[in-house]
Structure 1
Amino acid sequence: MNSYTHRVEKLINDNWKFSYGDNITGKESDFDDSAWYDIGIPHSFGTPYFMENEFYVGYGCYRKQLHIEPEWKGKKILLEFQAAFQDAEIYLNGQLVGSHKGGYTAFIIDISAIAKEGNNLLFVRLNNLWNPRLAPRAGEHVFNGGLYRDVSLIVTEPLHIEWNGTYVTTPEVTTDQALVSLETEIVNANSQSVTFRLVSSVEYSGEQVFETVQSEVLGAGQCLTVKQTGFVDQPKLWHPDSPYLYTLISRLYEEDVLKDEVVTSFGMRWFYFDATEGFFINGSHYDILGANVHQDHAGWGDAVTRAGMHRDVKLIKDCGMNFIRGSHYPHHPYFATECDRQGVLFWSELCFWGVGGPNIEGYWTASAYPVHEEDKEEFEESCLETLREMIRTNRNHPSIITWSMSNEPFFSEDAVMEEARELTIRLVEESRRLDPTRPAAVGGAQRQGFDALGDLAGYNGDGASLYIDPGFPSFVSEYGSTIDQRPGEYTPSYTDGVESNPKWRSGKALWCGFHHGSFIFDMGYMGMIDYHRLPLQSWYWYRNELLGIAPPPKKKEGLPYALKLTSDKKVIRTDGTDDAYIIVELLNEQEERICNTLEITLEIIEGGAVFPTGRTLKLSPENGSFLDGAGAIELRSYYAGNIQIEARAEGVQSAIIEVMADGETEWLGQKINIQVGPPEVERIPGGGEGSNIAKSRPVFCSSFDPENPAMNVTDGCEGTYWRSKQSAPGEWIMVDLEGRKNTEKALVVFEELSQEDIEISFSYDGKYFKKLFTSNLRSDTSVELELSGGLRYLKVLFPQGPIAVKKIEIYD
């Protein structure tokens, strides 16, 4: 709680109850919730979750006793949810007080009229059912429901600064002077007009650099945006190498009485993307290199603490990268806060998202844009409203350099493709209106003309090689997509067209930074850091290349002797924002780490902390949690007191480590009803059999004629084809399904007959190929192949010389 009394901002992440199912009677005060799970926020339906391909889809309900102080009577009392996936109803004392649809953005609920002095019952009814009218309709992530981001209580005077109501821009910046523009939304919820005075002070390191004051009369029930400006001489400019931050303190007075105070962090910098010269920040060209980042962590799923977000940003920064793409939805605003503090450029993205495959309605494999007329209007408003919420809650972060409208929206049905483009244009226009200081990007824009619809084009997969100097600002928003496990290969996973760094290209981002949950087979195993936040060898490649730090020696097998436990901190907070990152290693007698396989048991032997699985956790090579002689997990506590964790395994010395939890509620041995996981999981529905899952997928090749690029073989159009630029032996073309898929057959159609043999082969990893077909095309220009099992890559090789390929289709 803040030290002053005019505004209260208090996390209420502790002491919640949770139950699966649509238990609407839980909103009643006399309901018996003793059988419900004891949980803290952030929380996921899926806990414990360890990258399974299936996840619970349905309802979940939450209950909490909310205490209202007597001095809050007559004030504005708000509940702030940083996100709730994805359709939430909020009740207080049995009455519905608000709702929200959309799973990735913050919202507030006004409970002023219902809240009573003393204890109040807060009840949240939430579902993660696929909804044809809510974005995303498709994606390769998992969509676990839950109150998976912080929940807070906010209390203000009737005269107050609106929620997220400060907006700071620096429209004119040089190294000599910066013009700072302030917009502050003032709300008067009183029943009569008031005269207010807004004092806006900008500080750096506690020293005031300028102050501006404005007085106005504001009518009852009205809202007013106050615009102010000021100048800062010799400003300290925010930059990834020097992330200087300023503080705006907005104080609102009625007469001489302080009624509200809001603190806003911001940075002074200027930047732009140029079509021919790339990216510039503070007047200098700057090469961007980074990674895509999903939000989920081992065991906890999407329910990540702020400490976990800090570690994620730090891991990207520590290998020398300077950029994160928030794939493929708005992230917690605190994630951008960490990018601000640590000096990492951030691409903030909307959840208008498509995924290749059969486009089945009823699950997150559907067309990115709705196929039914009755769904379209509400879906478009869902995208627009989420964009508005994303920008409003994140607009003061200097690390954010673009708002992205989408990821691969071209994975829409052909019949609605033009409407998908029109929606993208609407989103771009709305983004420009809401924030003209940042470009509106279109992410995953390498098909169907989406790249020309915004201010910045993000190309995924084969886009880097297809779009050479496109004539407008561009970015490689995804490259790599290498499936691997620790320790992995020492490689940057560069793909065609990415190794070089032409001036016109603004930057590039690896797919991806971390392993993540996915319902699509092994697609989640593409990170340079694993799900437990331990680096693969590719992370060490980047660190060596970018920072000159040599990789650690390769671990060897040895004689197991003892376990070693370490924690990244000795004290953790109990408010749901913090955790301890616990690493266990296997050592030989010389205290060197060895890579033997072993099953480890972690147990909390003292204190009120929990792992995602409760008081014990198993780490093993079989599930990928203990590899190369190490494993890790995040531990959190909602109770104060000393915590002891023990690691043990058969035949080796155990280890014990202590962590202190600091908070209000002491651990007194309370019984905790631990969540053991969902009662059932949703399976991907059938009905897509026989679909061409190669359509619009990335295509790589040895060379291509600019008029006939490789992408033509999966575009689904008649009359297009791929032709190599070279006529030498050894030319090839290859379709990438972006992950291993179950397949039944493939069809390859050539432009002409040929006397020369061709080879068709498949691969799971792009390194080792198995031949399916070796013959000539003397009598037929089509080759149909029966496929049993799965594949990721299908490759056509021309050992003697190439001919044109019209299409490659792969069916599930």
Structure 2
Amino acid sequence: MSTGVIKRHQALINNDWTFMYGDIAEGKEVLFDDSSWYNIGIPHSFGIPYFMENEFYVGYGCYRKHFAIQPEWLGKSISLDFQGAFQDADIYVNGQWAGNHKGGYTAFHIDISELVHEGDNLLFVRLNNLWNPRLAPRAGEHVFNGGIYRDVSLIVTEPVHVAWYGTFVTASEVSAESAALKVKTEVVNEEVKTADCLLVSVVEYQGTDICEMRSQQSIAPGQSFEFSQQQLLVEPMLWHPDSPSLYQLKSYVYVGDVLQDEYETNFGVRSIAFDAKEGFFLNGEHYDIIGVNVHQDHAGWGDAVTRAGIARDVKLIKDCGMNFIRGSHYPHHTHFSAECDKQGLLFWSELCFWGIGGANTEGYWASSAYPVREEDKEEFEASCMMALQEMIRTNRNHPSIITWSMSNEPFFSDAEVMDDARALVVKLVEESHRLDASRPASVGGAQRQGFDVLGDIAGYNGDGAALYMDPGFPSFVSEYGSVIAVRPGEYAPGYTDGVENNPRWRSGKALWCGFHHGSIASNMGYMGMIDYYRLPLNAWYWYRNELLGIAPPQPTSEGVAYSLRLTADKRVIATDGTDDTHLIVEVIDREGKRISNPLHVELEIIYGGGLLPTGKSIRFSPESNSFLDGMGAIELRSYYSGTIKVRARAEGVLPAEISIEAVGDTIWSGQSLRLQPPPPSVMKAPAHGSSYNIARSRPVFCSSYEAGHPAMNVTDGLEDTYWEPSNEVEGQWIMVDLEGCKKAEQAVITFAGATALSLQNIFYSLDGKAFFSLDASKHEEKNKILIAELPSEGLRYLKVVFPAANAVVKQIEIFT
């Protein structure tokens, strides 16, 4: 056993894994034959290849990975860092159980010090993405593909070391002249005797030492201690989206005069404040926030996105002039907030407590956001609390993060547990304050059921921006827009309900949404200003022109196709699972101008170890929305070094080729790999079995409303509320938004008393622009109108337009 002191070793182990679908418990055994398993790298998803399907594989998947332990590491602290595994993971090393983690969106670590030996060791991960009534999220408008979809690292330190994500740097009294730094550092003693520790904390800026802090403490065996140090920083370089300055904290842990550990933390110095009347302030100055919501998945790869892919996403938002991202609706990879730090975007980090609306179906991610069974509640709340704790601990040093969000639309819970859902949000807010008093706790999607008053900031989605004007506490338009489109799309921002001009009291606004994404709900994934393949729609160019003054490109048109053009955003990539290149293929004419001809294009790796989500080739087509407006794109990665050659070809045009150089330890030598096929089966949302009002708690828009009787009342399900327009001018209207195209059977409109409404004044729409009349009839009850048959293609909007004699509307219900 080694007795020498080692330097902290932290290395990615993303390469050379094998994977197989199913619950194969015997795979934990060292001598198990996995020759029939698939060769994969991390990040990885059960669902690869995934292209926005509403259904996905639900079940078990198992992973095996051999890794080496150096002799000098024995007797040291050895652990594994998982940045994310969805969603219930059992970890085994050399056949022995090492630990379990439940929760798919936060990083975790597993101590394996006692389970390893010198030389070759086996890591086995048994993982499932089964819906769990006691695990957040129980519901959500996304997909829930399983997999070790974020990086995995091996960490080796001395027994006395800085704890996992053990530093926390905050700054107060921030100005251009000075800032009061407070540094908390948790040091762990895993020795069998007391350690007399010296912590030396050095602050650096661009490689130059700025200041040093020293503290001593005796730490008992098996215990940890949190050091607290303070320092006045003179003339700090303040972090700001326009100048994202970052400092480095070097933490040196000594026992006696022997250095035991060295740990580095990036941080920024800035001040933030949200005010009910004056909006948001950054570094003491009022600052207008404009940004987008962002889901994490990419075309083909699903949630298994590289760090380069994350950086590309952040850059796309930055490049159109926006300054903010809301991480909808779960904690993102820690590298996401690091990229926001580096590139200069504010970030809203959100917990995975959310709902989807519609028919609550226990057993699937369309259930009540909060548990309906008493026996599930305690464990569910504990899972939310643990996810919050892990989200904050692993991200708390990022200056880009300006709030911790507790939820998104938790009001999509069954009525009988709504009080419990509100009480949980209150507990989460209190825990957020305890863990990090330097940032406010927000409640995202708080526009119904009184959730907006439970946190420090209310985030309003959909119609919330119009419903809650100057609410008397800090507020944010956390979602607006939600326009369904494919490229090229409309050259417009998607503004709704006065969102365009921010009043000073409103802290900011975020478009729904930044990118197309996978969704369990039909069509709801097509609401991005950038498509799934990371190609902008015209809405992105609108924002870029508005915010940066960069004119949009000229529209394309069909022409005489001559050849394909194949480009990449980088020609050299790393092979450790963190990198990729974005390939773009275009159809051009003889002058090299892109034209919009609807071709079917095949992209093929003709040489080298490169990998596409579909293997060695992929087909683009207009029918699959993968080749539109004369363009297609995909990300290519490699786990082997060497030259990669890619060819694009289509019928009737000249092909194109490009070479990419992959750099890493393992050289591509033409070896044959067992590539993962599509998932063996997919799970569909179960039928809810009975008619259900899918309009409940959905956004409602109107021409005007009388004080105390807003449009939202018509979908609240309550008997004693109603909508009343504020005047009797002809053409008053009210419109329910189902937030996506939904299939429904009938609708019922209930009025307060008899109505003189013409039965020809009821309309439906798929896009909010083109409206079509609906046939209606008087209901058995004189104050109701029945629409007995709704369009077979579905609808998104239901609109009622009134003549001069206005009616008071109590409820609009739309039934499946």
TM-score tier by shorter-chain length is: over 0.9
User: Cα distance, 1:802 vs. partner?
Assistant: 2.4
User: Cα distance, 1:764 vs. partner?
Assistant: 1.0
Letter in 2 for 1:785: I
Distance 1:778 1:44 in 2: 53
Aligned to 1:51: 52
SS in 2 for 1:757: coil
Letter in 2 for 1:354: G
Distance 2:808 2:770 in 1: 25
RMSD: 1.2
SS in 2 for 1:447: coil
Aligned to 2:350: 349
Q: After the TM superposition, which residues 276-675 of structure 1 pair with which residues of structure 2 at under 5 Å, given as runs?
A: 276-675=277-676
Aligned to 1:784: 786
Letter in 2 for 1:56: Y
Aligned to 1:192: 193
Distance 1:777 1:753 in 2: 11
Decide whether aligned partners of structure 1 residues 341 and 688 sit closer, same or farther in structure 2, where only a CA change above 3 A counts. farther
Distance 1:359 1:514 in 2: 27
User: Cα distance, 1:600 vs. partner?
Assistant: 0.6
**Which digits, 9 at most, give the CA deviation of each residue in 1:672-710, with x for residues without a partner?**
111111000001101243011100000011111121000
**Which digits, 9 at most, give the CA deviation of each residue in 1:291-334, with x for residues without a partner?**
00000000000000000000100000000000000000000000
User: Cα distance, 1:76 vs. partner?
Assistant: 0.5
Letter in 2 for 1:153: L
* Counterpart contact for 2:776–2:786, Cα < 8 Å: no
* Counterpart contact for 2:728–2:804, Cα < 8 Å: no
**Which digits, 9 at most, give the CA deviation of each residue in 1:720-778, with x for residues without a partner?**
10001121011100101111111011110111223352511111111111111378999
Aligned to 1:181: 182
User: Cα distance, 1:779 vs. partner?
Assistant: 8.3
SS in 1 for 2:360: coil
* Counterpart contact for 1:730–1:801, Cα < 8 Å: no
1:796 lines up with 2:796 in the alignment: no
Comparing 763-772 with 527-536, greater Cα deviation is found at 763-772
User: Cα distance, 1:800 vs. partner?
Assistant: 3.3
* Counterpart contact for 2:6–2:158, Cα < 8 Å: no
Aligned to 1:807: 811
Letter in 1 for 2:543: Y
Letter in 2 for 1:522: N
* Counterpart contact for 1:457–1:473, Cα < 8 Å: yes
Letter in 2 for 1:791: L
**Which digits, 9 at most, give the CA deviation of each residue in 1:610-637, with x for residues without a partner?**
0000000111111011100001000000
Q: After the TM superposition, which residues 733-748 of structure 1 pair with which residues of structure 2 at under 5 Å, given as runs?
A: 733-748=734-749
Distance 2:756 2:220 in 1: 86
1:729 lines up with 2:730 in the alignment: yes
Distance 2:300 2:117 in 1: 38
Distance 1:779 1:719 in 2: 17
Q: After the TM superposition, which residues 4-23 of structure 1 pair with which residues of structure 2 at under 5 Å, given as runs?
A: 5-23=6-24
Letter in 1 for 2:801: L
* Counterpart contact for 2:778–2:784, Cα < 8 Å: no
Unaligned runs of 5+ in 2: none
Distance 1:381 1:642 in 2: 49
Q: After the TM superposition, which residues 238-277 of structure 1 pair with which residues of structure 2 at under 5 Å, given as runs?
A: 238-277=239-278
SS in 1 for 2:90: strand
Comparing 490-499 with 382-391, greater Cα deviation is found at 490-499
Letter in 1 for 2:117: K
* Counterpart contact for 2:486–2:526, Cα < 8 Å: yes
Distance 1:647 1:331 in 2: 33
Aligned to 2:771: 769
Letter in 2 for 1:196: C
Letter in 1 for 2:173: E
* Counterpart contact for 2:756–2:807, Cα < 8 Å: no
> Size of the alignment, in residue pairs?
809
* Counterpart contact for 1:754–1:777, Cα < 8 Å: no
**Which digits, 9 at most, give the CA deviation of each residue in 1:38-67, with x for residues without a partner?**
000000000000001100000000001111
Distance 1:274 1:207 in 2: 36
Distance 1:567 1:640 in 2: 17
User: Cα distance, 1:339 vs. partner?
Assistant: 0.3
* Counterpart contact for 1:92–1:120, Cα < 8 Å: yes
SS in 2 for 1:49: coil
Decide whether aligned partners of structure 1 residues 775 and 375 sit closer, same or farther in structure 2, where only a CA change above 3 A counts. closer
Distance 2:725 2:68 in 1: 70
Comparing 747-756 with 297-306, greater Cα deviation is found at 747-756
Aligned to 1:145: 146
User: Cα distance, 1:172 vs. partner?
Assistant: 2.0
SS in 1 for 2:161: strand
Distance 1:277 1:502 in 2: 9
Distance 1:681 1:199 in 2: 54
Letter in 1 for 2:454: L
Decide whether aligned partners of structure 1 residues 52 and 756 sit closer, same or farther in structure 2, where only a CA change above 3 A counts. closer
Letter in 1 for 2:796: R
Distance 1:670 1:801 in 2: 78
SS in 1 for 2:465: helix
SS in 1 for 2:438: coil
Distance 1:41 1:217 in 2: 40
**Which digits, 9 at most, give the CA deviation of each residue in 1:173-223, with x for residues without a partner?**
111011110000011111111212111000111111101111222221110
Distance 1:693 1:349 in 2: 26
Letter in 2 for 1:796: V
Distance 1:522 1:676 in 2: 26
* Counterpart contact for 1:757–1:800, Cα < 8 Å: no
**Which digits, 9 at most, give the CA deviation of each residue in 1:214-248, with x for residues without a partner?**
12222211101111111111111001111111110
User: Cα distance, 1:256 vs. partner?
Assistant: 2.1
**Which digits, 9 at most, give the CA deviation of each residue in 1:14-60, with x for residues without a partner?**
00000001011111112111111100000000000000110000000
* Counterpart contact for 2:756–2:805, Cα < 8 Å: no
What stretches of structure 1 move > 6 A for 4+ residues in a row?
774-779
Alignment TM-score, normalising by the size of structure 1 = 0.99
Letter in 2 for 1:807: Q
Comparing 796-805 with 315-324, greater Cα deviation is found at 796-805
Comparing 72-81 with 217-226, greater Cα deviation is found at 217-226
Letter in 2 for 1:803: A
Distance 2:136 2:540 in 1: 32
* Counterpart contact for 1:757–1:777, Cα < 8 Å: no
* Counterpart contact for 1:93–1:120, Cα < 8 Å: yes
SS in 1 for 2:254: strand
**Which digits, 9 at most, give the CA deviation of each residue in 1:465-509, with x for residues without a partner?**
000100000000000000000000000001113122111100000
Distance 1:601 1:337 in 2: 35
**Which digits, 9 at most, give the CA deviation of each residue in 1:520-579, with x for residues without a partner?**
000000000000000000000000000000000000100010100111111100000000
* Counterpart contact for 2:360–2:688, Cα < 8 Å: no
Distance 2:654 2:682 in 1: 38
SS in 2 for 1:339: helix
Distance 1:191 1:752 in 2: 80
Decide whether aligned partners of structure 1 residues 808 and 755 sit closer, same or farther in structure 2, where only a CA change above 3 A counts. closer
Aligned to 2:172: 171
Comparing 402-411 with 247-256, greater Cα deviation is found at 247-256
Decide whether aligned partners of structure 1 residues 571 and 756 sit closer, same or farther in structure 2, where only a CA change above 3 A counts. closer
Aligned to 2:687: 686
Letter in 2 for 1:679: P
